Structure 1
Amino acid sequence: MLLCFYVVFHNNRGEKNKTIPRIVGTCRTGGKALQLRFYANINNDEIILGKDNKTLVYRTLECHVQTARKRKQMEYHPCKSVGIIEYSGFAKTIDERITCECLSCYPDITDNSCCCA
């Protein structure tokens, strides 16, 4: 699943003033939470920092579930609706200011460069 985490941080005056590189180094997870998820051990993925330093794109390059379904000649699992709930909940657990948007995921594939993108 390709997810884009749009993160906006506000200072005590309500102004937007921080970017991901500054926050990731100091958050309670040390910026490594995605690597600790179960699927990080079985799927091939990547994390891309947006040019604006406020966006992270999490891409699953090879999905264990979808690869197995393809091998068995089964239809892909429609994981978009489940993924939105799972990743949004995961992100909110890390920091309630993080929001998620699905950019490409079966059945709505818009990026063919990855398995569940």
Structure 2
Amino acid sequence: MVNEVMTTKVICAVADVSVLAIAFLMAENRVSSVIIVETQASKQVHLGIITERDIVQFQALNLNVATCLAADVMSTPVFCVHGNESLWAVQSDRQSQISKRPIFVV
């Protein structure tokens, strides 16, 4: 089951923060990705994801990470699965998906 191997430390940020702020958030929390969210009706909606690899790519492209917003560069859509799903089923579903990393929702 997914919940047996998933990480429980998920760091989120809103879409209107800078990529530099996202990088600091990753370093501060020692994570390799941040989920970009929006609050709708007291619920967080997953909009996208930014990974360490994305930030390295932005630097290589000479993007100004201090002024570039998460909303402009986040990867979408976010692939979500439930913790009670089997790893085999998730892997099978992802075969046709091109996403950075799944988000496990319990």
Larger radius of gyration: 1
Normalising by structure 2, we get a TM-score of: 0.25
The higher relative CO (CA closer than 8 Å, separation ≥ 6) is in 1
